[in-house]
Chain A
């Protein structure tokens, strides 16, 4: 039954995300679209997890699907806080990542021994949630740059940055523990790990921007978009770098 039903969960989620993106462009979008897409993908992943009796993040298909769960979930959560350009950006990111899963092998695969630990499922979802909040921050920045943001832009950006910072900090701690108990080190000179540190330092610094008197709003907005670039490099870009063992 899994082979028959599960592809349709993904197809349905993809269709909803595309509809969401299209309706943002014409100004008719509803929160139910990203919320339902998130729920469908979550159901798909939960089913896969039940079959392998472990957390379903064992390959690129599951990783990108899980990331889309959080992108659409956070977009639904922050729906009223964002304007059309920002929501369209989040829909676009969701569409790209879920679309990429069609290029990957979707067969059920079992987690290797080094993933069979509580620290792995504690580490990864928190980092994905953080990425999603930081992308929501970038979405707010886009709203500001295109003149669609309201006077709450700064408060909302700070809230998203802070949420991401808290989640990512906890994720990094759990990831460090996992690094020690699995392969013996909480840090090594690897592009993925270095960029995780770049992201943490960047957004930690961002939380302190409010203490800089009269920090230009335009720079703040640009910072949000740069943050999204950092997130994408950290999550995906590092896999293409020579200095990484996390290569595709």
Chain B
């Protein structure tokens, strides 16, 4: 019992916290020189995750393993010291706004460590895709682009993009989206992030009897006595023109064929062009620690405010 109490005294001592803090800072500093270049094949993923360091564990990541141990002790020191401080103050019967502020800041710090641990285990990009006017499914949501508004600078460079998305197939649920304007969902643990604009292949345009029709891949074009299945259309950047791959169906006979844009075939079918429309390249990221991080931030800010401006003594009822 005495040993436990002595250990608690040591771990919660201010000097221990100072030593742990400086050592943690030193290990972090050393780690910065050991990180692989973000341009090398061994680069670390673009997230808070620490799982790459355990897949598998390697001796070259010694600094991270040591850092985790230090962070644990650092957190433990702060936690015990905070609990003791709260116990002492409340036993005394009065607290000051300033003390409350310091306590909230420490609590926010501890929550921040917890948030970092949660994020470290699972934060990552989980899905990517392109959003266009055609509905697509991402992260289990049916999403389509309703409006697309790029804003440019006077020199023509892109300043920002603001867009609106129909969320989950609900025409009444239109959400704003753009650079620095992600959409959070699943109780703030998932978010849709804009990577950049992209031209998206739309429907193919054919001319039948002088009339333009728009056809998507997998749809049929009906002509007298013959029909065509549009298997795939392609904006082929290595060749000079878009291509359409078709199956000609006449009775029981089927024949695969292809057409270049601008070409008229023997049935009088004209393949005119492929529509392009603006789309958005997006990524879905997950971070289960985000709600905890937000709580940590709120506590820290409130605590900071009380520390700076809280002078009042609060008498606690016995």
A184 to B123, CA, bound (A): 10
| A241–B33 touching, CB < 8 Å | yes
Q: Which of A79-87, A90-98, A192-200 contacts B (4 or more CB under 8 A)?
A: A192-200
- The interface stretch among A21-29, A41-49, A63-71, A205-213 is A205-213
Contact A238 B32 (CB under 8 A): yes
Query: Which candidate, A1-9, A108-116, A148-156, is the interface stretch facing chain B?
Result: A108-116
Q: Which of B214-222, B240-248, B297-305 contacts A (4 or more CB under 8 A)?
A: B297-305
Mark interface residues in B89-121 (1 if CB within 8 Å of A CB, else 0): 000000000000000000000000000100100
Name the one of A116, A170, A184, A197 contacting B125, with C-beta atoms under 8 angstroms: A184
Judging by beta carbons under 8 Å apart, are B22 and A212 in contact? no
Q: Evaluate whether A185 and B33 lie within 8 angstroms (CB atoms) in the complex, with A201-B21, A209-B18, A212-B15 already known.
A: no
CB distance A189 to B44 under 8 Å? yes
User: Which of A170, A182, A243 contacts B37 (CB under 8 A)?
Assistant: A243
Q: Is the CB of B290 within 8 A of A187?
A: no
Residues from chain A with a CB closer than 8 A to the CB of B125 are 184
Contact flags B276-318 to A (C-beta < 8 A → 1, else 0): 0000000101010010010001001100100010000000000
Q: B48–A188 contact, CB under 8 A?
A: yes
Query: How many pairs of residues, A versus B, come closer than 8 Å at their CB atoms?
Result: 132
Q: Is A232 an interface residue (CB 8 A)?
A: no
Q: Does A15 contact B (CB under 8 A)?
A: no
- The answer to whether A119 and B180 touch (CB under 8 A), given A212-B14, A243-B36, is yes
CA distance A59 to B297 in the complex (A): 29
The answer for the CA separation of A211 and B18 in the assembled complex, in Å, is 9
Bound-state Cα–Cα, A116 to B160, Å: 7
Query: Do B182 and A186 have beta carbons less than 8 Å apart?
Result: no
State the interface size on chain B (CB cutoff 8 A).
50
**Nearest chain B CB to A59's CB is how many angstroms away?**
13
Contact B293 A188 (CB under 8 A): no
Stretch at the interface among A31-39, A121-129, A136-144, A173-181: A173-181
> Does B29 interact with chain A (Cβ within 8 Å)?
yes
Once A170-B304, A185-B48 are accepted as A-B contacts, the answer to whether A198 and B179 lie under 8 Å apart by CB is no
Q: Is the CB of B18 within 8 A of A195?
A: no
Question: Which residue on chain A has the smallest CB distance to residue B21?
Answer: A205
Task: Give the interface size bracket for A toward B.
Answer: 35 or more
- Among B15, B37, B180, max chain A CB count under 10 A is at B180
B257 within 8 A of A: no
B161 within 8 Å of A (CB atoms): yes
CB distance from B71 to the nearest CB of A (A): 10
Q: Report the minimal beta-carbon distance from A161 to chain B, rounded to whole angstroms.
A: 13
Find out whether the CB atom of B15 lies under 8 angstroms from the CB atom of A243. Answer: no
Q: Report the bound CA distance from A209 to B29 in whole Å.
A: 21
A205–B77 Cα distance when bound, in Å, is 13
Task: Pick the contact of B153: A110, A187, A194, A212 (CB < 8 A).
Answer: A110
- Are A117 and B308 within 8 A (Cβ)? no
What CA separation (Å) do A60 and B193 show in the bound complex?
27
Can you show 23 pairs from A to B with CB atoms below 8 A apart? A110-B155, A113-B160, A119-B180, A173-B301, A178-B180, A181-B180, A181-B182, A185-B46, A185-B123, A191-B32, A194-B29, A195-B29, A198-B32, A201-B21, A202-B22, A211-B18, A241-B33, A242-B36, A243-B32, A243-B36, A243-B37, A244-B32, A244-B38
Query: Top 4 nearest A-B pairs by Cβ distance?
Result: A243-B35, A205-B21, A117-B180, A211-B14
Interface residues of A (CB under 8 A from B): 52, 110-114, 116-117, 119, 166, 169-170, 173, 176, 178, 180-191, 194-195, 197-198, 201-202, 204-205, 208-209, 211-212, 230, 233, 238, 241-245
Give B contacts to A, CB under 8 Å: 14-15, 17-18, 21-22, 24-25, 28-29, 31-38, 44, 46-48, 116, 119, 123, 125, 153-155, 157-161, 179-182, 191, 193, 283, 285, 287, 290, 293, 297, 300-301, 304, 308
